[in-house]
Amino acid sequence: MTGASKPDEAEPVLSTLEGASNPPTPNAAAAAYRYKADLLNRAIQDIGMGRYQWQLFGVIGFGWASDNLWPIVTSLILVPVSYEFDVARPPLLSLAQNIGLLAGSLFWGFTCDLFGRRWAFNLTIAITAIFGLVAAGSPSFAAVGVFAALWSFGVGGNLPVDSAIFLEFLPGSHQYLLTVLSINWALAQLLANLVAWPLIGEMTCASADHCTKASNMGWRYFLIAMGGLALFMCLARCLFFTLYESPKYLMGKGRHEESVAVVHEVARRNGTSSSLSIDDLQDDGPISSSTETTTTTTPTPTNATPNNGALSALDHLRMRLEPLSAPYVRALFRTPRRAWSTTLMILIWALVGLGFPLYNNFLPYLQQMRGIQFGDGSTYITYRNSLIIAAVGVPGSLVGGVMVEMPRLGRKGTLCLATLSTGAFLLASTTAKTSSALLGWNCAYSFTSSLLYAVLYAYTPEIFETQYRGTGNALVGGANRIGGILAPIIALVSNMETAVPVYVSGGMFVLAGLLVVLIPYETRGRMSL
């Protein structure tokens, strides 16, 4: 898989032709912080990729796995939960989950800058484990929904926190590993279905008629298993790996001695050394006084970096919100071509964010309903098929990594093909007359949708210029989350026992694929914008 930008790369000709602009001038405190952050980046690069980072790579994978595991958990328990509590509107469970995910991503994304990464690193998975285990004893559908929102609140923080930690210890030469981590998503989906098949498949009511707790214990045992797995992940992080606080966070708090000590400890673990000293971080460095490429040294205001150069909570908040400020957003629309590509990417992410959960979050439920129509809708067959579908999706991300480098396809061609195929397979699944035919179409959908996400996550950052990439990622990510919340609302309005949600989902993917054709950039073989 590709898409990670390499350090010290020159801007491509494409960006120059459009007239590259410099980002808005930061205030003195932010400029000093970025100067010191650059020193820390170079120190980590000099240390290189070693034992500490590889161990971190392993435990960070738990967060990536959880990010996909628990939404899959919600979809897998939807059928037995709706049977046991005779639920009139099952999509409410998915709505609760998506609200929790959105709240979690916002909360943890901001607070890890204010209170540190280390405590959030373990707390996100701990919250997931606790409420996942507690949900197994839920006495009502409302209770399951509340606990799903609460465990999703923890899950929503995994990527913002874990990616920040990983990047701040990762040499620029190995940032491609951030993309490689996505294989954990596919493996997590496979694991969830592997555990669900014997538990939910064997210990679930055949229908909502006379469905009692005693005859429907599969989903509760499944939640205990998944909650136990999350608890194991949390304990493994605490007991078998020593996570040091981010040097950048410590530096931002004015704790320069601790920041330097962490860098030297990582170097020691890797069998190398670092020349970084406390004196290096005491210097605020050159602060740009204009938007020109030249810089001049100016004195830092006495109130800019109080407490030995520390950033205040307000400074941290301002820096976090800076990519969403008007100048940064306007920069993404400063030329007709740039505005066109930004608008298209936002629409594509919104459509995919709506189409994927509208179908995937209800996949076992939809299979069960169709299976009943075909006369073979047993829960055992439903969850066996879910396992097969998940297994077929695993190689999709790996195949995507190969296809994006093919000259005749590239990023744009692969994404267009994967998105259109995903929509086509969903629409074709409505023609199935047997469970075997439905399984075949769903396997094809699983493969192409996995390929789609692998390419989309690699292609999107390359579309945006380096200095505005954070803003672009925030806009498309927000559109994707909004789509995720709208999906269960659409499912509530439509009849889940008909093919309407499948038609809507398939249509969203087809439309997104057509929009990909209109993107004016192909980034294969080019340096990051």
The residue to which tokens 């959908």 are assigned: 445
Higher-pLDDT residue of 307 and 381 is 381
Per-residue confidence (pLDDT) for residue 303, from 0 to 100: 38
Per-residue confidence (pLDDT) for residue 227, from 0 to 100: 95
pLDDT tens, 380-393?
777 788 888 888 88
* Claim: this prediction has a pTM higher than 0.75: no
- Mean confidence (pLDDT) of the chain: 78
Taking the C-alpha atoms of residue 249 and residue 168, their distance in angstroms, rounded to an integer, is 9
Q: Out of 146-155, 277-286, 341-350, which region has the weakest mean confidence (pLDDT)?
A: 277-286
Taking the C-alpha atoms of residue 136 and residue 127, their distance in angstroms, rounded to an integer, is 15
Judge whether residue 412 has pLDDT over 80. yes
Per-residue confidence (pLDDT) for residue 126, from 0 to 100: 94
Q: Which amino acid would we find at residue 309? A: G
Per-residue confidence (pLDDT) for residue 286, from 0 to 100: 57
Average pLDDT of the residues in 508-529: 78
Q: Out of 10-24, 275-289, 325-339, 369-383, which region has the weakest mean confidence (pLDDT)?
A: 10-24
Per-residue confidence (pLDDT) for residue 321, from 0 to 100: 59
Per-residue confidence (pLDDT) for residue 15, from 0 to 100: 40
SS3 at position 402: helix
Taking the C-alpha atoms of residue 347 and residue 340, their distance in angstroms, rounded to an integer, is 11
By the 10 Å C-beta count (0-12 exposed, 13-18 middle, 19+ buried), 101 is classed as buried
The residue to which tokens 């210097």 are assigned: 283
What are the tokens at 38? Answer: 């650059």
Q: Which domains does the chain have, with CATH numbers?
A: 1-24+323-529 (1.20.1250.20), 26-43+249-288 (no CATH), 49-170+178-240 (1.20.1250.20)
Q: How confident is the model at residue 120 (pLDDT cuts 50, 70, 90)?
A: confident
Average pLDDT of the residues in 245-253: 78
Average pLDDT of the residues in 310-318: 59
Judge whether residue 423 has pLDDT over 90. yes
Q: How confident is the model at residue 145 (pLDDT cuts 50, 70, 90)?
A: very high
Per-residue confidence (pLDDT) for residue 151, from 0 to 100: 95
Using the 8-state DSSP alphabet, how is residue 284 labeled? -
Taking the C-alpha atoms of residue 482 and residue 408, their distance in angstroms, rounded to an integer, is 34
Higher-pLDDT residue of 499 and 85 is 85
Nearest to 357 by CA among 155, 154, 96, 178: 96
Average pLDDT of the residues in 391-407: 77
Nearest to 516 by CA among 416, 374, 376: 416
Judge whether residue 220 has pLDDT over 90. yes
Q: Do 105 and 481 meet the contact criterion of CB atoms below 8 Å apart?
A: yes
Average pLDDT of the residues in 282-292: 50
Q: Out of 224-228, 330-334, 514-518, which region has the weakest mean confidence (pLDDT)?
A: 330-334
Per-residue confidence (pLDDT) for residue 373, from 0 to 100: 60
Nearest to 396 by CA among 459, 351, 479, 456: 456
Nearest to 109 by CA among 371, 362, 323, 385: 323
Most confident of the following: 132-136, 160-164, 181-185, 274-278: 132-136
Most confident of the following: 24-38, 364-378, 491-505: 491-505
pLDDT tens, 456-506?
876 777 777 655 666 677 788 778 888 888 888 887 777 666 677 888 889
Can you list the alpha helix ranges (DSSP code H) found in 181-217? Answer: 183-202
Judge whether residue 76 has pLDDT over 70. yes
Average pLDDT of the residues in 272-292: 64
Percent over 70 (pLDDT), the chain: 76
Contacting residues for 115 by C-beta, under 8 A, at least 6 apart: none
Judge whether residue 302 has pLDDT over 60. no
Q: Out of 169-173, 294-298, 304-308, which region has the weakest mean confidence (pLDDT)?
A: 294-298
Q: Do 68 and 116 meet the contact criterion of CB atoms below 8 Å apart?
A: no
Report how far apart, in Å, the C-alpha atoms of 302 and of each of 129, 324, 487 are. Answer: 46, 27, 51
Average pLDDT of the residues in 218-243: 91
Average pLDDT of the residues in 410-425: 90
Q: Do 77 and 84 meet the contact criterion of CB atoms below 8 Å apart?
A: no
H-run or E-run covering 321: helix 313-321
Per-residue confidence (pLDDT) for residue 17, from 0 to 100: 34
Judge whether residue 164 has pLDDT over 90. no
Taking the C-alpha atoms of residue 135 and residue 143, their distance in angstroms, rounded to an integer, is 7
Can you list the alpha helix ranges (DSSP code H) found in 11-136? Answer: 13-18, 28-47, 51-84, 91-115, 117-135
Judge whether residue 14 has pLDDT over 50. no
Taking the C-alpha atoms of residue 416 and residue 366, their distance in angstroms, rounded to an integer, is 26
Show the CA angle centred on residue 159, arms to residues 36 and 58, nearest 5°.
Answer: 85
Judge whether residue 6 has pLDDT over 50. no
Judge whether residue 527 has pLDDT over 50. no
Higher-pLDDT residue of 157 and 285 is 157
Q: Using N-to-C axis directions, what is the helix angle for 363-374 and 435-463, rounded to 10°?
A: 160
Per-residue confidence (pLDDT) for residue 19, from 0 to 100: 42
What are the tokens at 473? Answer: 């990622």
